[in-house]
Structure 1
Amino acid sequence: MKKLYTLSIFLLLISFGLSAQDTQFYNELYEKYSRYKEESINQRRFTHDTVVKLIKKQEDNPDFKIKKVGESIEGRSLNLLSIGSGETDVLLWSQMHGDESTATMALFDIFNFLNSQDFKAEKEELLNNVTLHFLPMLNPDGAEKFQRRNALGIDVNRDALRLQSPESKTLKKVRDSLDANFGFNLHDQSRYYNAEGTEKPATISFLAPAYDYEKSINEVRGDAMKLIVLMNNVIQNYAPGQVGRYNDDFEPRAFGDNIQKWGTSTILIESGGYPDDPEKQEIRKLNFVAILAAVFAITDEDYKTVDIAEYEEIPQNDSKLYDLKLTGITYELLGNEYILDLGINHSEVPEDTTRQYSYRAYVADRGDLSTNYAYNSKNFSGYKLISGKVYPEILRDLDAVGKLNFKKLLEMAYAYIPVENLPEKEKFTDYPVNLVSPGFEVSDDISHSFFLEKDGKIEYAVINGFLVKIGETPSVENALILRQ
């Protein structure tokens, strides 16, 4: 199906057991990805209306069959898009959790790939052998609020037995009507997962869900494992060491476990974290390549020759990542000095009127964090932690704040600026200092904002969990507005 090369190259096996032919094909998909990326969605927070418009665009391709297969609790449509005429049915569903949208974006990229003029011969063979069925955004009510659960407040992925919600009933009905050979259960996971034993994030994690407590392996689950090995081998070319294996404890209420049990070889894909990729655009690209690699492998049955033992060699997910890790800090408490490492994370807080968000930092852990890792790490041996101070003058409003010399303020360890007229509903500020109401008092405990001093000189500030070097123009994603 893919471009033929000389026999010697065709037989050459490169690292991870992929043929040179396969690797060239996947590299082309990866390199040409920008041609297929659906540019109308480039952030994780988007709604059902956006999805409906993009689904409607697929009507331009007569090969796509589009069918409304259900409605959410709040009446939003659930739509199935099918393409191909092959006997092997592959079902892909995304955003079962409303705030897990990475793969939904990737599915629309795949639609653009299928609609393109590229790789005609390869796609013709694919669609002659396989029929693809896509159910994007299974939980549109949750997506509307960018929350995990549906409008009923339940986790759709724990409703495979009771089938309380219409979203769950729809997925079960579609799976049963197709009796799909393969299923792709597409999710997002915490960005704080790492590949076990390494500092690298588990950017993509895979799982062939267990169908019983014994974690038995039959042909159905075994085929899922083989496909995962192949996808892992592909992803290693673009995110080496950044693949994990999700926990395979049997969950009797979960759809992945049950769909595996019902006879569909099921692959869970979890999209985690990637450095400097808060909107998961690089991870979206990895989804695009991994899913297409799996589908093409199903087409030509490449996966059948995979050594299933390689599945267990994929590192398990661990949870030892922070956004910021500061090590070796001297901290004084009640007259005694201690050496602490700090692990700081940022939680995303949605803004009230838009689908944007801001960050609120918190100290996730402290102590000996030598077995933990971070996206940004720095050693501060010999540095002393100094609490941020409150500026002695109460400013009238934000205009007055904007006239301050922030570089000078941080040099003097001021992390909090009291403001008489704080905006009523706003909780965040773009200034590199926290704004507080008059009378605000700094906590005695280590907080999200403090300074690091060496030999009596302030050299670094941490403002809302963002590290700033003193003397440079201060910049943070956002600081906080705090009221007493």
Structure 2
Amino acid sequence: MQITSWYTDNFEDRLTGRYITIKHILPLLDSYRNIFNVSVAGFSEMGVEIPLVTLGKGAKKVLIWSQMHGNESTTTKALFDFFKYISVNNQQTAQLLSQYSFYVLPILNPDGAALYTRENANNIDLNRDAEDVSQSESRVLRSIFDSLQPHLCLNMHDQRSIFGIDGPKPATLSFLAPSADALKTITPAREIAMELIVKMKNYIQAYHHNQIGRFDDTFNQNCVGDSFTSSGSPTILFEAGHYPNDYSREQSRSFVFYALIALFDLDTASQNNSLDYKEYFTIPENQKIYKDVVLYNVRVDGEDNLQTISFQYKEKLLHQKIEFELYFDSMQEKNNVFGHQHFDLQGGRILVNSHQNILIDKKTATIFDITQNLMLI
């Protein structure tokens, strides 16, 4: 398929894994200086530069920012895949850059990116700072927004592996057209965002199984997307999620790349003039239904009934690399939770770290099925 080869050909292999910082992207930005305009939009709370990439000369102004949360890097990788694609001078990209002017902040929160934290250096969630605009990073974004008055905003994030949709399936990419008020009024700006999400969803589903979700649209004026939508600018929230056996999220980033291809009509298959915003509400809403590892039908001392035991990975920054450490999450009789890895113990017992008792606050290194004499993890 053409789109698959596009992604393979434009995969930016200098950015891989989950730990992506300013130090990783600056060499790439330097390589694009003869093609795109690369400048410094401002500085973080710790004085680190926040790069701004501008490209195109079109009338439609698009503002994009990624890694507002420092530990959410999948969309940053996808943006550089997109940069690589549109840096090739052909008829499609020439038309794109004649129609649009892009203003891209690849890493809005460089301090959080370096620390691998959601928050910035002052422990402030920048996506809850839209009203106060108390942080340097927030002021950079707000200043650009106010000066541009963009026709479209893309607010790009990662979501946790707990999210899934009916099926069940992991929510590999979720979208949101943020509300403009507490009544969730479908304003003209929000209707545009909904139509564009429908276009991206339809295009991705033509190449993938249905793993597209819709994020909760409860209004929060402190959230940047809600604030910008209230101001009249169509805004779309991207949430890159889990794909089976892809904790590095290299498959998830492909979904974001495909979405951008569709959004800006770079494939004729995505061009559809008969979009209905109401179809947005048919996209299944995200549900917190997944755990990273689930053991079903486990015999536990002191419990009359078989138990479902769940474990979750915690992401730890160690030696400039993200390590995934497994920890006990919950135990219940119900088996209404799904696992990215799952095992049916059929009444068997387990040893966790060679102990019969589950160690709640300890890293889970091994899970052993005593009955089957089998190492599960």
Q: Which amino acid aligns with 1:187?
A: H
Cα distance in 2 between the residues matched to 1:231 and 1:51: 27
Deviation at 1:450, TM superposition (A): 4.8
Residue of structure 1 aligned with 2:52, choices 76, 80, 97: 80
Q: Kindly tell me: are residues 212 and 127 of structure 1, through their superposed partners in 2, closer, same or farther at Cα, counting changes over 3 Å? A: same
Residue of structure 1 aligned with 2:61, choices 89, 92, 108: 89
TM-score, structure 1 normalization = 0.73
1:318 has 2:259 as partner:
no
State the secondary structure of the residue aligned to 2:300. Answer: strand
Q: Kindly tell me: are residues 151 and 386 of structure 1, through their superposed partners in 2, closer, same or farther at Cα, counting changes over 3 Å? A: closer
Q: Which residue of 1 aligns with 2:13?
A: 39
Structure with greater contact order relative to length (CA < 8 Å, sep ≥ 6): 2
Deviations 1:128-178 (A, max 9, x none): 111122111000011011111111110111111111111101101111111
Q: Which residue of 2 aligns with 1:256?
A: 225
Question: After superposition, where does 1:25-424 map in structure 2 within 5 Å?
Answer: 27-61=1-35, 64-117=36-89, 120-195=90-165, 197-296=166-265, 302=271, 305-333=274-302, 337-351=304-318, 354-383=319-348, 385-387=349-351, 415-416=353-354
Q: Which residue of 2 aligns with 1:451?
A: 368
Deviations 1:209-253 (A, max 9, x none): 001000000111100000001111122133312111000000111
Cα distance in 2 between the residues matched to 1:261 and 1:303: 27
Q: Kindly tell me: are residues 55 and 299 of structure 1, through their superposed partners in 2, closer, same or farther at Cα, counting changes over 3 Å? A: farther
Q: Which residue of 2 aligns with 1:18?
A: none
State the secondary structure of the residue aligned to 2:32. Answer: helix
Q: Kindly tell me: are residues 177 and 199 of structure 1, through their superposed partners in 2, closer, same or farther at Cα, counting changes over 3 Å? A: same
Cα distance in 2 between the residues matched to 1:147 and 1:88: 33
Q: Which amino acid aligns with 2:284?
A: P
Deviation at 1:446, TM superposition (A): 6.1
Cα distance in 1 between the residues matched to 2:88 and 2:267: 21
CA contact (8 A) 2:328 2:358 kept: no
Deviation at 1:360, TM superposition (A): 2.7
Structure 2: tracts of 5 or more residues without a match: none
Q: Which amino acid aligns with 1:73?
A: E
Deviations 1:373-413 (A, max 9, x none): 11122222242x1446xxxxxxxxxxxxxxxxxxxxxxxxx
Deviates more, 1:279-288 or 1:48-57: 48-57
Deviation at 1:315, TM superposition (A): 0.4
CA contact (8 A) 1:235 1:290 kept: yes
Structure 1: tracts of 5 or more residues without a match: 1-26, 389-414, 417-441, 467-484
State the secondary structure of the residue aligned to 1:345. Answer: strand
TM-score, structure 2 normalization = 0.93
Deviation at 1:79, TM superposition (A): 2.0
Size of the alignment, in residue pairs? 373
Deviations 1:38-68 (A, max 9, x none): 111111202212222211111121xx22222
| Identity rate, percent | 31
Q: Which amino acid aligns with 2:55?
A: I
Cα distance in 1 between the residues matched to 2:267 and 2:219: 26
Deviation at 1:343, TM superposition (A): 1.7
Cα distance in 2 between the residues matched to 1:148 and 1:319: 19
Cα distance in 2 between the residues matched to 1:363 and 1:98: 25
Q: Which amino acid aligns with 1:88?
A: K
Cα distance in 1 between the residues matched to 2:270 and 2:324: 46
Q: Kindly tell me: are residues 74 and 310 of structure 1, through their superposed partners in 2, closer, same or farther at Cα, counting changes over 3 Å? A: same
Cα distance in 1 between the residues matched to 2:153 and 2:267: 12
Cα distance in 2 between the residues matched to 1:133 and 1:92: 6
CA contact (8 A) 1:94 1:137 kept: yes
Deviation at 1:368, TM superposition (A): 3.0
State the secondary structure of the residue aligned to 1:216. Answer: coil
Deviation at 1:97, TM superposition (A): 0.5
Q: Which amino acid aligns with 1:90?
A: V
CA contact (8 A) 2:199 2:270 kept: no
1:460 has 2:374 as partner:
yes
Q: Which residue of 2 aligns with 1:10?
A: none
CA contact (8 A) 1:225 1:308 kept: yes
Deviating beyond 6 angstroms after TM superposition, the runs of 4 or more aligned structure 1 residues are 297-301
Give the alignment's Cα RMSD to 1 decimal: 2.2
